[in-house]
Amino acid sequence: MTARAGGKRLRREEAAIAALLAEPTVEAAAKRAGISESTLLRWLQDAAFSAEYRAARRAVVEGAIGRLQQTATQAVDALARNLRCGIPAVEVGAAKAVLDQAIRGLELLDLAERVAALEQAADAATATGGRR
């Protein structure tokens, strides 16, 4: 939170961030947090408050991704069942989904390898002072 924030302000900022995460609009978030919309808009312009808000949003998204990862095996099982369910349209849809995700996975692995190679090359260049 902001370095200048005292106890009461810190609690108000934390309430505002929680409200921003829960409400669809800044206006609704301000009302929920018990502050004016102009105050919340001003806080959103503050670098430290914005950084805390971004960190909170990231934590929410990471939590959602974790839940998705926990159910990924079940999703693959469902696709596999639908590959042989006896309904051609469903089987084709499942096959497309499996292939799309397999291709996307390969693309991500390829990108990860390329990034790792670039990072290794950059580290080597830094270690040698940029000389080749």
Which tokens hold the place of 36? 């004016």
Q: For residue 128, what is the DSSP state?
A: T
Same domain, 61 and 91: no
Residue 78 in any domain: the answer is: no
pTM comes to 0.58
Residue 79 in any domain: the answer is: no
Same domain, 96 and 56: no
pLDDT for 129 = 78
Domain of 26, in residue numbers? 1-72
Print pLDDT tens along the chain (132 aa).
544 556 888 999 999 999 999 999 999 999 999 999 999 999 999 999 999 999 999 999 999 999 988 998 999 999 999 999 999 999 999 999 999 999 999 999 999 999 999 999 999 999 987 665
Euclidean distance between CA atoms 45 and 38, whole angstroms? 11
pLDDT for 128 = 86
Name the domain count of the chain: 2
